[in-house]
Structure 1
C-alpha cells in the first residue's frame, strides 16, 4: 500500500517525541520537510562511497545535507585513450552546521598515477554556470587571495556550495550540481615530459582547410583538409579574379567550429558567393604549445607551391589576428612591404575580431585559472564537452596542475612581452587593417557569479574589455603605436550581455556581421 503524506508526518512526529529515538535522529528529523526530506545529514562528518566503472570515489561532508544521484552516471574515455571523464550529479539541501558550505571529493586517482580536475556545472534561473576546481597545496596566505577558482585542500578537492550565483546560504534551497571529473595519465612536472605527454594525447595540428561555398551543407561538415584536394582546386582559386577569403581561428579553436555560425548565415553565404572565389581557406594551428612565429612558419610551408601571390582578404579571431599579422608583416613581405616572390598570398584587407594586438592580461601564467573559468562561462555555444575549446582548456588545466609556466602560444600574448613589443615596432599606418571589439557587460546572473568588479579591476586593471582582451589592446591604444589603424577602420560594440569575445560572428548581431563583411571586401 502507498503511505500518504499525512501518515508519513504522523510517523515523523512519533519518532521526534519518542524516548527511544536517538538525539542524532531527532536533530536530523527536525525541520526536514518537502524537497529536503530525503536529504538527511549523517552527522559531523559523513562519507558516501561508490564505484564507477572500476574507479572509486568518495564524497565527504561536514554538516551538509546532500545525496548523490546514483543513476545515471556517465563515464567515458576520450579518443586519445588517456583522458577519462566521469560525470555524476549531486543534490544539496540545507546546511546543518554553521560554516559548513562545501563537500570534499576524494578519489583514488593518485594511486593510478593520474591527475584530476573537476568541472562543476550548476543551473540557476535557466542559465548554466561552470567552475573549474583544482587541487592546490599552496600556503594559507595564497588561499586568502580573491580568485574565481575554489579554495582546495591537499587531502581532497573542495566542492563549494556558496557561490553568489546560486544564492545558497544554508537557507534550505536545494542546489543541484553536475560534477565532471576529468583525469588523465600523469604527465610529469618536467617541461620536456609534459610536452611529450601533450603531443601523444592531443591532436591539435597544423592544417589548411578548404570550404566549398557551392555545397548545400552550410555546416562545419563542408570543410575538408586540403591534403584531400587535387591540384584543380588550387588552380580554381588561383585563376579566379575575385579574392580568396581566409579565416583564422582564435586560441583553443579550429576553423571548422569557430566559423560555423558565420558560414551558416544565409546572408553571409550569399554575399561571399558574389564577392569571393568559390573556396574559403582555413588556417588551423596549435595556439598554445607553439608560438606565433612558429605558427606562421608552419602555415607558410603548407601553402608554399599551392598558390602564388593570390589576392586574399582575411578575417581573424583573437590570437588568429596576430598569426595573420605575422604572415603579412614578416613572413610574406619584403622590407619595403611588397609581397615576396614566393608568397602564396598577398593581402587585400585584414579584419581582426578581438585581437590582442598589445596583449592580454590573461596570457600571464598567474591568470590561467581565471582565464579557464571566464572563457568557459562566456563562450556560450562554443563550449561543450568534447569541443575543441573544451580540449584546449584541458591543456591549460593540465599545465596548471603540472606547474608549467611556459606556454609559447600564450607567452607571445603577454602585455609588455618581448614578442609583441618587437612585432609592433615601426608599423606605420595600416589602411587595410580593420578592427572590432566590445565592452562586455555580463548579465545580472553572470555578474554575480564572476563578481564583475573583480574581473574588471583585478584581472584587467580597470580596463574595458570583451571578457578576454582589453579594448585598448585591440585598438593599439596602450602605447605609442596607437595610430596604426585609422579611426574610421575601428569599431567598438558595447553593453550587450550577449556580445563578448566569442560572439563577434554570431547571427544575432547582424549589424556587426554586416560591418565585418563590408570591411573585408571594401
Structure 2
C-alpha cells in the first residue's frame, strides 16, 4: 500500500479539451443562459436526455451524444441553487480563477511530457453533416459558446467549451505536441472520446512512454 512518503512520478500528461488558461463559460452568468437554452432545446425537440425516474427508460436514440453530460451538469448547477462558488469544478475554469493561477505556477511543474487534443467545432462544416434536430441542437450551443468568447473580446475558436489557444498552452507556453481535429470532423468538447483517431493518438502517446 502506498504511503504519504511514496513518490509518484508522472511521465506523460495528456489533456483532452483542457481549459489550461480557463474558459469564459466558467462564469455563472453563462451557466444560467445554458440552462435556459438547453431546456428550450430539449422541450422543443422532445429529446430524452437520461433515464426517467418514473419509467427508467434510456435516452432516446435521436438525442445528440452531448445531451446527457450537459443534463448532468445542469442538474448539479440547479441542485446548488445556481450559485457559482457552490460548483467548484466549473468556477475553477474561469480565466481569473486562483486555482488555475496556482496550477500554472512554476511550483506546479511535474516534469512530465505534455500533450493536448484540441478541436474547433463548427457544426455547419462537419462531414458527414449534421441534420434535423441534431443540427439545431449543436448550432444553438455553438452560437452560445461563440458569444461567450466574443464577450471577452477574444473571438477565439473553440470546441464548444474551451478555446483552442487555452487548450494548446500552459502558462502562456505552447505545448510541444498537439493533436488538432479540424471542423470537418464534427467533434466537440463532449464527443472527443467517441472519435477513433483521438483514441488511437492517446494510445500512441501512452505507448511511446513505455519504450
Q: TM-score range by the shorter chain?
A: 0.5 to 0.7
Work out the CA distance in 1 between the residues paired with 2:142 and 2:71.
23
Structure 2: which 5+ residue stretches go unaligned? 43-62, 125-129
Q: Deviations over 1:383-419 (max 9, x none)?
A: 34xxx763332121344xx352322222211112211
Q: 1:459 aligns with which of 129, 136, 148?
A: 148
CA contact (8 A) 1:439 1:465 kept: yes
Match of 2:99 in 1: 419
Question: Bigger relative contact order, structure 1 or 2, given CA contacts below 8 A and separation 6+?
Answer: 2
Note closer, same or farther for the CA distance 1:429–1:419 as it changes in structure 2 (3 Å cut).
closer
Please state how far the C-alpha of 1:380 moved relative to its aligned partner.
3.1
Match of 1:396 in 2: 77
Work out the CA distance in 2 between the residues paired with 1:389 and 1:449.
15
Q: Deviations over 1:248-276 (max 9, x none)?
A: xxxxxxxxxxxxxxxxxxxxxxxxxxxxx
Please tell me whether residue 365 in structure 1 is matched to residue 53 in structure 2: no
Work out the CA distance in 1 between the residues paired with 2:162 and 2:192.
13
Structure 1: which 5+ residue stretches go unaligned? 1-304, 309-339
Q: 2:164 aligns with which of 453, 471, 475?
A: 471
Misfit runs of 4+, over 6 Å:
none
Correspondence list, 1:10-409, <5 A: 305=1, 307=2, 341-343=5-7, 345-372=8-35, 373=37, 380-381=64-65, 383-384=67-68, 390-399=71-80, 402-407=81-86, 408-409=88-89
Please tell me whether residue 410 in structure 1 is matched to residue 90 in structure 2: yes
- Identify the structure with the greater strand proportion: 1
Match of 1:450 in 2: 140
TM-score normalized by the length of structure 2:
0.67
Work out the CA distance in 2 between the residues paired with 1:429 and 1:342.
16
TM-score normalized by the length of structure 1:
0.29
Q: Deviations over 1:50-85 (max 9, x none)?
A: xxxxxxxxxxxxxxxxxxxxxxxxxxxxxxxxxxxx
Match of 1:441 in 2: 122
Work out the CA distance in 2 between the residues paired with 1:430 and 1:447.
41
Alpha-carbon RMSD:
3.2
Note closer, same or farther for the CA distance 1:451–1:409 as it changes in structure 2 (3 Å cut).
closer
